A and B are shown apart, each in its own frame.
Chain A
């Protein structure tokens, strides 16, 4: 029984240590009377430093806070179980807009958005999905989609042009890619990439794989080393944090890599030749702005080459001028509608 008491003391001390400042603490969370628009961002399990779309979303949030005078906060989700309570936390605090970053939060967003019809929500890469998995538009949810296949197509043009002309270390005309999990936003990138390669050189070898993870770099590296052993010259990663391991494999073995979502040329200079870019920051910024301007649009919102929502990133000096010219021509053709990159994989 003495032990029970002792542990109660432990609990009391912990509680005191946590709550000790309660009376003296500042109540800094009460909204100012000026009623700034409040925007809350919830990341998926990739976290803020994924050098990918969570990070990009946060960039958009900070930009919106700075330019538009919004009040914003972010919560990083540590596990899937946290999605619902994290979204609920912002909704309960009467945020004007709650942004769920990532396809994986479709069901969580549906659950919370139906409970808070007066709060606006946005899902990056997804639409609300009920418990059965059926997606359905809700009047208070904006579904922010990207035409990843267009970005994939552009980097595919660059890669295939280099491989066809055997530029630098690209000597085997073998082009590879790795996704995190085979979900639509990932496969769209890869589908566009493969479409471009097949269009430019039907004889090129294409290999695709998955790390089955968006976080673990080691898994991505294993897939990368396996691909390189099969003569891959250029490795395109679509796997968030796990994909950084795929790039690391390329760096280690002295082949080329292509980054994804954000400009990843700085991840491994000399290895990363360009990046397939999806302007998640622009989607977050524009949606936040739409709430401020009262022009919020529920349902599907597309970000594509046409509205500069996707594109390709900075080019390494090894990329020849003809590859860049081909990519720019493809970009113009996509904008004009002359090219419509595929959304289904050519090689699984």
Chain B
């Protein structure tokens, strides 16, 4: 990738300018673009098999996501948590860790934000909002750091711990919200917490006179800020350099004087912080309270988003937008074309399939080339 701090960034000076675009295309967006195109093409076969017109289905899919200002704002609402959870997965990937726990980090952030937002509901916004924001990020970070610590101190595989953490949070949330300390006495018939204070609410940023009924909230600015933080942290700070060095080869990094253990804990804490922010934004921007089981898998879609976006800031934003558009457009496609919204899941799965296949091919090719270190997922 262009911004990688490679050992010899300039390379041999013999006519690199001719070759570079093609090489960049091949290592950069080629696989995501091909996988999406392939998935859309194969998806057409599924639409045909279900007895519908694939072109009109895709037109409805597109119109559902971007057809009107309201649709665009709804697509963006779907995109925001995917961006942040995608960053949570990508920070870990860049540091050589596979964070399957973005889902629970997100939920922990939501619960913390919801608890603080409801407990101190009477405080004014300038006091309450930072409290809610920091508790969401902090809770997610602390929860992520646990998996990092277990990996660093005990060598426990973070894939296992983060999956286990997901289950813990889901069941603790059942307890908290269905019949526990956070359960609201009158919770809309749904297991939910009491509403957060008005000061903790992220305002809707587009007046209803311009886009009627829109729910698009200020969380989109927080998401954009987080993308900038992600980029700056990883590529413009020494900590980010160290994280990526650990990700590319922990032993080499240790030889260079970087302690991989502390970096692993930090990486998981930062990942958890991004995911916690996603949860906080869903509470402050969309629900204004915590619902049991509200997430339905942002943290898992985020893995696909990070892979499709190749763990780069712009890639993640575009991949999240694509998945957000699928989520929004899929329902409208079902409403208008009668094609099941499950088609979208099929397309997403096909995208992942191609990306995974490409990774396998690369790993095998690297093996055949000899003992050179396998390039990390970039």
Contact = CB atoms under 8 A, between A and B. Distances in A.
Nearest to B53: A26
Contacts, number: 166
A21 B335 contact: no
A103 B341 contact: no
Contacts of A106: 188-190
Interface stretch (A71-79, A284-292, A293-301): A71-79
A80 B314 CA distance: 28
B189 A184 contact: yes
A103 B189 contact: yes
A21 B58 contact: yes
A250 to B, nearest CB: 24
A76 B333 CA distance: 11
Interface in B187-203: 187-191, 195
A18 B259 CA distance: 47
A45 interface: yes
Contact of A181 (B191, B322, B327): B191
Nearest to A22: B59
A325 B174 CA distance: 41
B303 interface: no
B189 A10 contact: no
A182 B178 contact: yes
Given A73-B335, A75-B335, A7 B315 contact: yes
A80 B294 contact: yes
Given A11-B318, A13-B33, A28 B187 contact: no
Interface residues of B, number: 72
A318 interface: no
A78 B55 contact: no
Classify chain A: how many residues form its interface, as a range: 35 or more
Contacts of B33: 9-10, 13-14
Interface in B103-139: none
B291 A2 contact: no
B161 interface: no
Interface string B335-349: 110101110000000
Contacts of B28: 3, 6-7
Given A6-B29, A11-B318, A133-B187, A17 B37 contact: yes
B293 A80 contact: yes
Contact of B29 (A7, A20, A25): A7
Interface string B43-79: 0000000000101101111100100001000100110
B221 interface: no
A59 interface: no
A24 interface: yes
Contacts of A25: 55-56, 59
A79 B195 CA distance: 19
A73 B110 CA distance: 34
A9 B29 contact: yes
Interface string A9-41: 111011101111110111011000000000010
Contacts of A24: 55
Given A21-B59, A40-B335, 8 more contacts: A3-B312, A17-B58, A18-B325, A29-B60, A81-B286, A81-B296, A85-B331, A106-B188
Top 5 A-B residue pairs of the complex, sorted by shortest distance between their CB atoms: A79-B296, A21-B55, A133-B186, A18-B62, A25-B59
5 contacts: A18-B62, A24-B55, A76-B334, A79-B297, A107-B188
Interface of A: 1-4, 6-7, 9-11, 13-15, 17-22, 24-26, 28-29, 40, 45, 48, 73-82, 84-86, 88-90, 92-93, 103-104, 106-107, 115, 126, 129, 131-134, 181-184, 212-213
